[in-house]
Amino acid sequence: MASNIDPDFRASWYIPAFEIPLWLGRQHLWCVVIPVINEGNRIKSLLSKMQLLKINKIAEIIIVDGGSTDNSLELQLLQKMGVSGLLLKTGPGKLSAQLQCAYAFAIDQGYEGVVTIDGNDKDDPKAIPGFIKELSLGADFVQGSRFVDGGVAENTPKSRDLAIRYIHAPMLSLFSGFRWTDTTQGFRAYSRNLLSNSDLSIFRDVFKTYELLAYMSYRAPKLGFKCKEIPSIRRYPSGKIPTKISMFRGNMNVLKILFLVCLGFYN
pLDDT, tens digit (0-9, with 9 covering 90-100), for 59-81? 999 999 999 999 999 999 999 99
153 within 8 A of 234, measured Cβ to Cβ: yes
In this prediction, residue 251 has a pLDDT band, given cuts at 50, 70 and 90, of confident
Which regions of 38-197 does DSSP assign to beta strands (E)? Answer: 60-65, 85-89, 113-116, 141-145, 152-154, 188-191
Mean pLDDT score, 153-181: 96
Q: Cα 78 to the chain's mean position, in Å?
A: 20
**Domains of the chain with CATH codes:** 7-262 (3.90.550.10)
Residue 23 pLDDT > 90: yes
Cα–Cα distance measured from residue 186 to residue 46, given in angstroms and rounded to the nearest whole number: 15
In sequence order, what DSSP letters do the residues of 30-42 get, joined into one string?
Answer: EEEEEEESS-THH
Helix (H, G, I), strand (E, B) or coil at 191: strand
The closest alpha carbon to 42, from 240, 247, 183, belongs to 240
Work out the number of other CB atoms within 10 angstroms of the CB of residue 47.
24
- Residues 22 and 100: their CA atoms lie apart, in Å, by 18
Judge contact between 235 and 127, C-beta under 8 A: no
Contact assessment for residue 31 and residue 63, using Cβ atoms and an 8 Å cutoff: no
For residue 1, pLDDT over 50 is answered with: no
Q: What is the pLDDT of residue 249?
A: 73
Say whether pTM exceeds 0.85: yes
The dihedral over CA atoms of 196, 107, 96, 222, expressed in degrees to the nearest 10, equals 20
Q: State the pLDDT at residue 243.
A: 59
Length of the chain in terms of residues written = 267
